[in-house]
Copies of this chain bind each other. A is one copy, B any other.
Amino acid sequence: MKRLSEMEAYIPGEQPQDKTYVKLNTNESPFPPAPEVVRVLSQQEIEKCNLYSDPTVSSLNRAIADFYDISPDRVFVGNGSDEVLAFSFQAFGDLSHPMFFPDITYGCYRVFAELYNIPFTKIPLDDSLAIRVEDYQNVQGTVVIANPNAQTGTYLSLDSIANLVQQNQDRLVIVDEAYIDFGGESCIRLTDQFDNLLVVQTFSKSRNLAGARVGFAVGNRNLIQDLYQIKYSFNPYNINRLSMLAAKAAIEDRAYFDSCRLHIIQNREWTREQLETMGFTLTKSKANFLLAACSRISGEELYRNLKSRGVLIRYFPDARIQNYIRITIGSAEQMQILIQNIKDILGGL
């Protein structure tokens, strides 16, 4: 029998069940889904779950296309953006199409590359932990950039992305915009002009639906058709009925979406000020998290200390960011609890 070789899988943030934590470790939204989500998941719709879901995901595709004012056949929906990204690696990477991504970024890129035997190169962030877009101008292969970047939250402007995409139109650029709605500008509209740009987004963060598993990609029709080819060859009904309805209701409520993301931005900036006042060093995050280091305590120590006080954050073993903690931005109350606890911990050193 074939047995799997030792791949190093991605390790999701912990989901401990021992007590209720102030949970600031997996970049979830602190807000419930839009009110209409509850209404559309009616008894009548639940009772239709004996029937398969629409494999073309057409009503949700249309709702996403409406939001971004594009044609529905340029949208691909998957079971979470992890699935959309994995399909993209499988579709657009192979031995002669290596992948290039930052040394510090979303951990799944490395895992997907290994899963599909795609050679990859990690390009170091600069000393401020920002992506230096010039470093990607001349690489021969597919570029994968999270914008804002995972772990660091740093953001590349629309112009920077446009330049990168324009520079070499034989090369695909995948931009993972999981965190774009917290202060960045989406490059989705560039897909009108450029055939070599694939933009991936998620309903897990700014649309408050991490537990529904919906993500999507926008690009030119050929790229989108390639993703459908993988989907139909793998799991044609991959999006379930209820998640489709939930995501459609979520993207249609623009006011709630704006309100949630503005709260996150406000809470982020308040938390940033508090941490800076306490002497923390922070990256310029435009995401729903902050990456912060304190010279007086290691990331791991601060993580353990906060966990014992009922506050979950995350730290990373990567050498370049091992002094940092990553803090998901939650509600104002959650951030106050976090800051008070950090004050107490530092005061006791």
Residues of A within 8 A of B (CB): 1-4, 7, 9-10, 12, 15, 23, 26, 28-33, 37-38, 41, 43, 46-55, 79-80, 82-83, 86, 91-94, 96-97, 111-112, 114-115, 142, 170-172, 196, 204, 208-213, 222, 226, 229-230, 232-243, 246
Question: B238 touching A111 by the CB < 8 A rule?
Answer: no
Among B15, B32, B212, B232, the residue within 8 A (CB) of A242 is B212
What is the bound-complex CA distance between A176 and B235, given in angstroms?
A: 15
Could you list some 20 contacts between A and B, CB below 8 A? A2-B94, A7-B229, A9-B236, A10-B233, A15-B52, A28-B50, A32-B48, A41-B46, A48-B211, A50-B209, A53-B210, A80-B237, A82-B236, A82-B237, A83-B235, A83-B238, A115-B234, A210-B237, A242-B242, A242-B243
**Cβ-defined contact, B234 with A82, below 8 A:** yes
Q: Which residues of chain B are within 8 angstroms of A32 by Cβ–Cβ distance?
A: 47-50
Minimal Cβ-Cβ distance residue in B for A82: B235
Please indicate the chain B residues that have their CB under 8 angstroms from the CB of A237 in the complex: 12, 80, 82, 210, 213
Shortest A1–chain B CB gap in Å is 5
User: Which of B3, B31, B41, B211 has a CB less than 8 Å from the CB of A53?
Assistant: B211
Nearest CB in chain B: distance from A83 CB, A: 5
A241 touches B211 (CB 8 A): yes
Please give the distance in Å from A242's CB to the nearest CB on chain B.
Answer: 5
Complex-state Cα separation, A208 to B241, whole angstroms: 13
Residues of B contacting A208 in the complex (Cβ-Cβ under 8 angstroms): 49-50
Task: Give the complex CA separation of A204 and B240 in angstroms.
Answer: 11
